[in-house]
């Protein structure tokens, strides 16, 4: 972090700002991780829902029900991510990948984001 005086700030003020920035670096990193986890959860849910809608007739109903339940669980956890941190269930991305695989290799789909 680089803070320079452009006028009106004393060296003590600059040092105080640098110390505060360093002290809050951990909290800032945690907040960034939560935002990234929420964004990934949104992306995975959207991608999985879209794939499921497009190819619902090719996926067994039991899998459709399980995927929809997992999407709902991820959305519920995602809504609480600001309070509980990174807690989204990995089951939805894995089952979402199963939905992609169920439509066949000729579909051009490579699996849901976040599944590796």
More confident residue, 116 or 18: 18
Q: How far apart are CA 7 and CA 114, in angstroms?
A: 46
Cβ contact 92:47 at 8 Å: no
What Cα–Cα distance (Å) separates residue 52 from each residue in 32, 39, 61, 83, 100? Answer: 30, 20, 11, 30, 8
- What's the average model confidence in pLDDT over 19-40? 92
pLDDT attached to residue 77? 82
| pLDDT of 51 over the 60 cut | yes
Give this prediction's pTM.
Answer: 0.55
pLDDT 10s digits, 94-106: 455 555 555 554 4
Please report the DSSP string for 23-72 in residue order: HTHHHHHHHHHHHHHHHHHHHHHHHHHHHHHHTGGGS-HHHHHHHHHHHH
* Lowest-pLDDT choice from 40-44, 46-50, 95-99, 103-107: 103-107
The two structure tokens encoding residue 19: 């110390």
- CB-side neighbour CA atoms (13 Å) of 27: 5
């Amino acid at each position: 972090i680089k803070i320079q005086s452009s006028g009106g700030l004393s060296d003590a003020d600059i040092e105080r700002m640098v110390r505060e920035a360093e002290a809050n670096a951990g909290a800032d990193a945690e907040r960034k991780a939560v935002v990234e986890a929420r964004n990934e959860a949104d992306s995975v849910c959207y991608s999985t829902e879209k794939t499921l809608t497009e190819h619902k007739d090719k996926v067994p109903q039991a899998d459709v029900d399980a995927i929809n339940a997992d999407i709902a669980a991820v959305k519920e956890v995602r809504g609480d991510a600001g309070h509980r941190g990174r807690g989204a269930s990995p089951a939805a991305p894995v089952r979402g990948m199963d939905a992609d695989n169920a439509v066949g290799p000729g579909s051009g789909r490579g699996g849901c984001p976040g599944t590796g």
